[in-house]
Structure 1
Amino acid sequence: MTKPSTADDCQILQSYHAYYPVPTAAALWCGVPPKTIETLLQEAEPIEDGIFHHPEIACLDERCRVIHEAIEQDQLPCGRLGNGQLLHSQDPVPRAMRTIQRRDFKDWIEREFPADKPSLLFDAVERQRRSGISVETFLALKAEHDRLEKQLIKQKRRCKRLQGQKKSLKAHCHQLEEAQQHRPLGERAETTYLNIIAALMELLLPSPGDSSPAPRFRRQADVIEALLARHEGKPGLSQRTLQAKLAAANQRFRAS
């Protein structure tokens, strides 16, 4: 069953065929509510034929002038006192008697002033639409825009999540590096280091029965004393530690 017409539908049809005197059309274009137009126009001051000025309505006089010029240049059809018959410049109508149809007025504004569409004459879709673009095209473009905007929001969230994961991985790597630095030596690595130490000690100290030229140091204590003198305060180079490590190195080296 067809849905019955509503009062709003009737108002739309009535406004479609509505006629406005030029000052009324100019006031609507200025955004003046219909209920206050008559009162404000009665207060307006006529400054030229068919052109009015009101201190509370910005650009009322300019819009009156532009509308009259459009009528006189056959850009905007007009009638005489709203009788429905459209006249042209060949049939001049006194400015005070000119009336313009709502739909013609809207078409002219959309064509000549597409960025200046008042909400009292144009709905939200009409205000966003540009000349040469149909409603269907506009709605399709808007749907695509909304889809891309949702996709952008989704990608921003994903990027933020990945940045958080990157930060966590970086912190984890830092922890692993610190743990690796403080990790105790394995038995094989410790044996290697101790063997190197012992081999160096053999080069520095004389061996029993060796007739080679006299080495720089004759005793292990001399090596420790020289190390302490040159590297005082270095971590791991205390006298006690050096004695223990060198003894362990000699013992491990002889046993290998």
Structure 2
Amino acid sequence: MPNKYHQIVLLIVLLLTLNNKAQANVLVLLAHPDDETWLSGSIAKLSQTQQVHLVYATSGGAGKDRTGLKRQGQTLAKARENESECAAKQLNAQAHFLKLDDKNLELYEVELIDQYQRLFEQIKPKLLITFAQDGITGHKDHIFIGNTVKKFWLTQTNSNSQLWQVVVSETRATIAQQIATQANYPQPIRKPVATDSINLTIKVREQHQPRVTAFACYPSQFPQGLQQIWQIFVAKTPYEEFIQVSR
């Protein structure tokens, strides 16, 4: 269980950082380091005119280390935080880590909503971005974060903030599958959404390079073969997809 004092200190540091920004008005609320990959082009584009903050509920210590170094727990978590700092720099964003339990994140809904509330009151964001209900990959933490953020946002009835849910359409998932099959690297996108359910598409052709370089910041999660597939995928899909949620 995370140390409560440590959580309070982290939150204070985050709030002070946000308070010093002239326009800290986009919050991207995610589960793990590397989750921003699905919308990295949009982050880079938004950051041209707004302050974008990537808030990770966990540091990914329960994941796997795909470098062969066999790091686990806090050692892996620290490495993944460093990778996210690298990616955030490529995207001109700020990375923040709430350091909740990566194995049992769903047990911390009350604490997570409390921290979201404090951040929301401090920076008054115009836009929140998170996962949709299937979390793209079907990962339980993606689903939990997406549902928790939506639940929180719906309570902010006096706010004019927007909520975007990042998704991958069946069309883009098919393209990804074709690329992966040709590379003999089966990596399906497990939970695409119907293409006609998407109501917001962001063109990110000009953000091709930061999409690639941010992805390359994650050797612990993305082996070289997957990085090559990603380069082809972003070249073939110079756009990212969202569902803009209505209250």
Class of the TM-score when normalised by the shorter of the 2 chains: under 0.3
The alignment's TM-score, normalised by the length of structure 1, stands at: 0.21
Higher strand share: 2
Larger radius of gyration: 1
The alignment's TM-score, normalised by the length of structure 2, stands at: 0.21
Higher helix share: 1
